[in-house]
Amino acid sequence: MSALLELDDLHVWFDLGDGGELHAVQGVSLALDAGQRLGLVGESGCGKTTTVLGLLGLLPPSASVSGRVLLNGENILAGGEETIRPHRWNDLAIVFQGAMNALNPVQTVSAQIVEALELHHSSSGRAARARVAELLEAVGIPRDRGDSFPHEFSGGMRQRAAIAMALACNPSVLVADEPTTALDVMVQAQILELLDALCRDFGLALLLVTHDLPVVAQLCDRAAVMYAGEIVEQGPVDALYHDPRHPYTRLLFAATPDLQGNGVPISIPGAPPRLDRPPQGCPFHPRCDRVFSPCPTKHPPLRRLDGEREAACHLNDVPAGVTR
C-alpha cells in the first residue's frame, strides 16, 4: 500500500542573483501514512522549513524545485500551482510558528475562517458559520470568542485559531512548522495536547517541523533528522534516541538538556557547512566525533538499515564486530 503523502527526491535551489546558487534541499524523501505523526527535526538553516514550503508549493519565485510530491499516489508538483492549489487546505494544511502573522489583524477570527471555507468551496453562508463554531470548539476556543480580533487573543489562543483555520476543509495532513516555539511551556503543553487529540480523533496525519527534539520525542511516532539540506537519519523516535545510527542524531540528543538526566549537555563543535559551497564527502564530517577514512571524500547515501531505519553514515558500512 502506498503512503498518504510521499516526498520523492525533493530538491530546492535558490538563485542567489549573482550567478550563485544555494542547494537548500538536497534530495529529501519522506513518507507519511494516514494518522501517522512524523517529526522533521534539525537546526536553523538545515532546510526543514524549505522542504515543507516546497511540498506545499509555497516557495518564492527565486526557488527552483525538482522531485515528486505524491498525495495518494498523484504527483501534485507535476503541473505547478494548477495541480497543487486544489489540494492545499483541502488535503494539506499548514500552521506556522508566528500565529499573529498567519491571522489577519483587521478581521474577526470567525470571519477569517468563513472566508477560508468559501474560498475553498468547502461551504458558505449559514453552513460555513456553523462549521466555524464546530471548529472553534474542536480547538478549545469558546464559541462566543470567535467574534474577537486576533489581538484580543493570547499567544496560545491565536495558535488554536490558526489550527482551527487549518482544519477548516478537513485536510488529511496537517503540516505544523514550529507550532509551539514562541509559546511558554504550559501553553506549549496545551497545544501539543490539542494536536495529539486531533490526530487521534480525526485520524489526521501530522508533519511536525521543529528544532525541538523533546517535543518530537513526546508527540511523534517517527522522525527524520535533517542536516545541511539532507535527511541524515530517519526511523521510530524510540530507536533514534536509544540506538542512533548517525553521529549527528546522537550528538544532537547529547546537546539537548534533559530535566532529569544526570549528564551535562555537550555542544557539537563547529558550525553547519554553507550550502552555497557544499563540502566534499559527508557534510557532517568536519564536526563528527567518529570520522574515519572515507568520510572526507565519499558522500554517504541515505541507506535502509532494517525495516524502519535509514541513515546516511559510512559507519553503517563497517561490518558488525569490526572495531575501527
Partner 1 sequence: MSANGRLLEVDDLVVHYPVVRGLLGAMARRPQQVVRAVDGVSFAVERGELLALVGESGCGKTTTAQTVLRLLEPVGGRIAFQGQEITTLSHRQLRPLRRRMQIVYQDPYESLDPRLTVRATVEEPLLIHRAGGSKAERAELVRDALERVELTPPELFLHRYPHELSGGQRQRIAIAASIVLGPDLLVADEPVSMLDVSVRAGVLGLLDRLREGGLGVLMITHDLSTAARFADRIAVMYLGRIVEEGPAAAVVGDPQHPYTKALLSVVPRRDPRERSRPQILRGEAPDAVRIPSGCRFHPRCPAAIADCREIDPALEPAGSGAGQRAACILAG
Q: Which residues are near partner 1 by CB under 8 A? A: 43-44, 154, 156, 184-190, 192-193, 211-215, 217-218, 237-238, 241-242, 251-253, 255-261, 264-268, 271
Report the residue number, 172 or 249, with the smaller CB distance to partner 1. 249
In the complex, minimum distance from the CB of residue 279 to partner 1, in angstroms, rounded to a whole number: 16
Report the residue number, 106 or 259, with the smaller CB distance to partner 1. 259
In the complex, minimum distance from the CB of residue 309 to partner 1, in angstroms, rounded to a whole number: 15
In the complex, minimum distance from the CB of residue 210 to partner 1, in angstroms, rounded to a whole number: 11
- Give alpha helix (H) positions in 48-180: 48-55, 81-84, 99-102, 109-119, 125-138, 155-166
Report the residue number, 125 or 265, with the smaller CB distance to partner 1. 265
Report the residue number, 63 or 189, with the smaller CB distance to partner 1. 189
Report the residue number, 79 or 265, with the smaller CB distance to partner 1. 265
In the complex, minimum distance from the CB of residue 77 to partner 1, in angstroms, rounded to a whole number: 30
In the complex, minimum distance from the CB of residue 214 to partner 1, in angstroms, rounded to a whole number: 4
- How far is Cα 218 from Cα 208, in angstroms, rounded to an integer? 12
How many other β-carbons are positioned within 10 Å of the β-carbon of residue 63?
17
- How far is Cα 291 from Cα 91, in angstroms, rounded to an integer? 43
- How far is Cα 172 from Cα 53, in angstroms, rounded to an integer? 17
| 8 A C-beta contact, residue 141 and residue 165 | no
- How far is Cα 85 from Cα 87, in angstroms, rounded to an integer? 5
Residue showing cell 498567519: 102
- How far is Cα 230 from Cα 11, in angstroms, rounded to an integer? 10
